[in-house]
Chain A
């Protein structure tokens, strides 16, 4: 595997379900990101992790819970979601804290909440 991978690629869940999205980067990077991409809106940054520490939570509702066990893996735990949470969830990684570095994106998980 190379680059940034995300599983599953598609997910349909009910509002009472609990599910998790997984992201893995094979680039030796130290920063990882979760973005939400909805139609006709800019990419919305949700969370940033640097060296496994959360450095940004962009006022994300608590029904989204991130986890970063190491610099290569990032999870997004989902529970009691709403239909408006349906979107493409993108994971990205970059070399580290300083910013200004290229962010490498995964292919995304297309989430549908019924």
Chain B
């Protein structure tokens, strides 16, 4: 089955700087890669996703890049703000399969 590894497990960034979280996956059949943000006391919320037919996707301060050859994808947050502090999860799935395999999460702390 699919295995997703996520690094780092914790990340502290000065407000205004950029944050990068990286994930690798094992199943070459995976073609859907969402990123979720989980705030304290809440369930995970999708913030951005990418499919294997594109290499990069951007939504305001958030971007995701995908390298299918190397089987890794990354989340980039620019101009970080205190409200970006949360736990971020990457995930992967085969589009024909409703199962998502999640990484172990990255606790991002933005230092004011």
Contacts and interface: CB of A to CB of B under 8 A. Distances in A.
Interface residues on A, range: 20 to 34
B104 A103 contact: no
B73 interface: no
Contacts of B100: 45, 103
A99 B93 contact: yes
A66 interface: no
Interface of A: 4, 31, 33, 40-43, 45, 48, 50, 55-56, 90, 92, 94, 97-100, 102-108
Say what secondary structure dominates the interface of chain B: loop
Contact of A48 (B31, B94, B95, B98): B98
A103 B46 contact: yes
Given A40-B104, A43-B89, A98 B43 contact: no
A99 B104 contact: no
Contacts of B93: 99-100
